[in-house]
A and B are shown apart, each in its own frame.
Chain A
Amino acid sequence: MVFAVLLVALFIKLPTVFIDKDDNIFIKFSSFLIILSIAITFYLPKEFYELNTILKPLQFYIFLVAFIISLSFLIDINYRLKKFRFFTLLSVPVISQILIIINTPYPKIDVFDILQNASSAVVQGINPYTITFNQIYENITPDYFTYMPFSFLMNIPARTLLGDVRFTSVVSLLITSFIIYKIGEKQNMKEDSYQNTVLLFMYHPLATLIVGEAWLDPILVALFSLFGYLFLTYKNKYWAYFTLALAFGVKQNMFLILPFLIKLKPFNFQKLILAYIPVIAVILFFLFLSPKDFIADTVKEPILRKTRFDALTFHSFIHNIYPSVQIPKGFFLLPIIFLPILLFKQGKKISSFYLTFAIWFLCSLILFREAFLNQYYFVSSLLILSLSFGSLRSKVRKIEKYH
């Protein structure tokens, strides 16, 4: 909660302490952060691993190798070695994510089960919204597929070719990294600066776990980063909007991004509508296939399910202190009040778009009925995207002008 408030404050007024004229402070400070992030990955929960194979300790040792290599950030090395360090460090999280997929072939989490089975079912011509999945949790009948159709459609290649939907997440993380790299090059940022941003993104201490538990957020982040890239690169904004439409096609709550697009210049309402049409058409196809099941799974279930007091939310906070206090059901609508304020402050640039949405989404998560690690991971990834698309630099220019 405090962090959410901090973000809002940062958004309004960036302290002069953080002025960084040419990325030098960012490059040096982020080097420290990368080393510390890798050190924190040593504390990954080991209970998650299902198979007691050699891969389990290997997971730890490859991070140890990454840690040792990362210590070279403390000294000056030549360009070729820097390049080698970057690609070696980049490969470690990817290897770690592949290892976790191999070593946890069937994680006991409903997200994995429903995605895995829905992706194979749809290839066999079965409607995922009518399936009853495997029983994972006691007393819960798994007859729900709560995500939108593109969640399983996008996972079909990984499920069919590699047998596991989680490979889509691995590829998604690589796509995001590639875009952060490319956008850094395009903006004439210093190479060290965008390389470090990529590493900060890849060494999020929970990235391996997010992939291991098959959360969809790496895919959403990849779509958001593609949006930024296409928006900046191509005059025709159709494909950029289309990526956001796909994000909505994956998860319902991604429709929340729409108000934030209006201030992002140039805004093309016609193209936006056109981009959403094919995605909505696919959604409608599944709706018409079995309206009752589709509405029950994607609308009723998310709205009517009970408040989770094990979630990382304000509700859980209050419930843990005063279990008898009942928070009004309309409480989660509170973020709507902040929306106009944030939209008013939002800049015209893409970095501001990411930052504003991240802040608002974070506030909404805290006040919502449930929010777990994957959603907070999504917010932190948006912050990294905001950084890589130049938020700090634009703020610095603003401050310099002011002074």
Chain B
Amino acid sequence: MKSTINLYLFLYSLLQLGYIFSFGVYALNGILILLFCLLIWFAFFFKSNLFDKNFDFSPQLNLYFLLNFSVIFSLFLIKPTLQQGGIPFRPPNFADVYLIIMALSAVSLFLGIFLPFFSKRTTVFLLLLSISTILRLLFIYVSPYPRMDTYDIIRLGSLGLIRGENPYQMTFIPISEPNYKGVEPNYFSYTPGILTFSVPAILLFKDQRIFFAIANIITSILLYLIIKRNKKIPNTYSLTLPLIFLFNPSSYFIILRGWTDPAVILFLTLIATSLVFNKFKNSVLILLAIVATTKQTLVFIPLFFLSYLQKGLRALFIVGILSGFIVAPFVIWSPKDFLQDTVLFHFKNPVRHEALMINNLYYFLSGSDIPPIILISIIVITGVFILKKQKRKTEEIYLSMGLWYFTFFLFNTKQAFVNYYYFISSLILLYIALKISNSTLSEE
């Protein structure tokens, strides 16, 4: 048990080195690290007995190290994050706010490093949680209108729906950034599940990113509660792991750009919380339906719950029906536009050669893409094996989900960027939290 936690904490650290420095854009060093991460993960998953007893020391040291690793790299990546393209508008007091951001990050570094020294660790935890919240809000404040399609289409699509327009029929504002040259913004490329939370978020906060920032904070509190459930372990576990999640070095970038992954991770954590506390079990199916219809790539998520949920196939059927309720209105509204934006658009989209995926490693070596059939076969075959090997435990859902999605993203035929790997990292932490929560580990 200790060994497993240590190994996955190590895997998490290595995974970070694979994508945080390049901000999820293709780099030879990054892709090789990610590839080895995947191989190690497969080895852990399928041959766990090879590693099980090798690292049976207290994971507290590893957690403490990883917390510091995260706060240090977060601090390092603040400037490059703000220098990334797509944030042309700045508030007039940007320089002052930047200083506040740096000062707060330095304070969090200080508190993170000294966490084991404080007698009132819970207070320090709450302080770090507050700093992390403020930092997220400040990142949103300094980038009032990021020029990025994801941000634009979610915001304008939701506003359109509020006005009674169909997001799938809308044409958005063209983006002048070099990446979008010649792209006509007439696509709402997400599936309708996203509107179930983006519309209330925009109604409440006017900027969906505030909801994503809050989602991060709620996720960390849920992680705390999940671990705290195990009364036999010291509070180092419940205090450090949520902070490691919050101080993921690319989390500010994810918030700033307005990717939806923090919301998806929140829903998956809510499901996990419901399962471990054995409460609100019916909401699991609703949440699963929302997650599965948020993005096309997430449609496979319910499959990982198949072996766990009682009467799995029936549950899957209910999730299907609920998903149908979310999707159907838009299909009926304008079938052609819906199909165009959610399916055909992605098929027509060219391979993104700046994406962090195996295809691009091959592309830069040989000058051509890997035939999609090979990539899809790898994804399907590994999926079958992973599902077959998956054990009937809550944490195993997230472990196999993380491993398969990692394979899916790395061997993707079109694109894989920073938010994809952020999603995987978060799943690893969620797995570790559940593993600690369900363990019989006693360590005082």
Q: Does B57 contact A25, Cβ atoms closer than 8 Å?
A: yes
Q: Which residues of A contact B64 (CB under 8 A)?
A: 17
B50 touches which of A9, A28, A39, A75 (Cβ 8 Å): A75
Q: Which residues of A contact B58 (CB under 8 A)?
A: 17, 25
Q: For the complex, is B221 an interface residue (Cβ under 8 Å from A)?
A: no
B57 touches which of A5, A9, A29, A40 (Cβ 8 Å): A29
Q: Does B236 contact A17, Cβ atoms closer than 8 Å?
A: yes
Bound complex: CA A74 to CA B13 (Å): 14
Bound complex: CA A76 to CA B110 (Å): 37
B14 touches which of A2, A13, A39 (Cβ 8 Å): A39
B36 touches which of A6, A9, A25, A67 (Cβ 8 Å): A67
Q: Does A40 contact B36, Cβ atoms closer than 8 Å?
A: no
Q: Does B54 contact A28, Cβ atoms closer than 8 Å?
A: yes
Q: A28-B54, A39-B14 are in contact. Are A18 and B21 (CB under 8 A)?
A: no
Q: Which of under 10, 10 to 19, 20 to 34, or 35 or more describes the interface residues of B?
A: 20 to 34
Q: Which residues of A contact B17 (CB under 8 A)?
A: 36, 39-40
Q: For the complex, is B138 an interface residue (Cβ under 8 Å from A)?
A: no
Residue of B nearest to A32 (CB): B10
Bound complex: CA A24 to CA B2 (Å): 14
Q: A6-B114, A17-B236, A18-B61 are in contact. Are A64 and B40 (CB under 8 A)?
A: no
Within 8 A of B (CB), among A13-70: 13, 15, 17-18, 24-25, 28-29, 32, 35-36, 39-40, 42-43, 60, 64, 67-68
Q: Which residues of A contact B80 (CB under 8 A)?
A: none
Bound complex: CA A60 to CA B28 (Å): 10
Q: Does A28 contact B57, Cβ atoms closer than 8 Å?
A: yes
CB distance from B30 to the nearest CB of A (A): 8
Q: Does A64 contact B32, Cβ atoms closer than 8 Å?
A: yes
Q: For the complex, is A399 an interface residue (Cβ under 8 Å from B)?
A: no
Q: Which residues of B contact A64 (CB under 8 A)?
A: 32
CB distance from A319 to the nearest CB of B (A): 14
Q: For the complex, is B7 an interface residue (Cβ under 8 Å from A)?
A: yes
Q: Which residues of A contact B32 (CB under 8 A)?
A: 42, 64, 67
What is the predominant secondary structure among interface residues of chain B facing chain A?
A: helix
Q: Which residues of A contact B29 (CB under 8 A)?
A: 42-43, 60
Q: Does A74 contact B61, Cβ atoms closer than 8 Å?
A: no
Bound complex: CA A18 to CA B60 (Å): 9
Q: Does A9 contact B114, Cβ atoms closer than 8 Å?
A: yes
Q: Which residues of A contact B117 (CB under 8 A)?
A: 9, 13, 15
Bound complex: CA A74 to CA B51 (Å): 7
Bound complex: CA A124 to CA B109 (Å): 53
Residue of B nearest to A64 (CB): B32
| Chain B interfacial positions (CB closer than 8 Å to A) | 6-7, 10, 13-14, 17, 21, 28-29, 32-33, 36, 40, 43, 50-51, 54-55, 57-58, 60-62, 64-65, 99, 106, 109-110, 113-114, 116-117, 236
Task: Give 22 A-B contacts (CB < 8 Å), ordered by A residue.
Answer: A2-B113, A6-B114, A15-B117, A17-B58, A17-B116, A28-B57, A29-B57, A29-B62, A29-B65, A32-B13, A32-B62, A35-B10, A35-B14, A36-B10, A36-B14, A39-B33, A43-B21, A64-B32, A67-B32, A68-B36, A75-B50, A75-B51
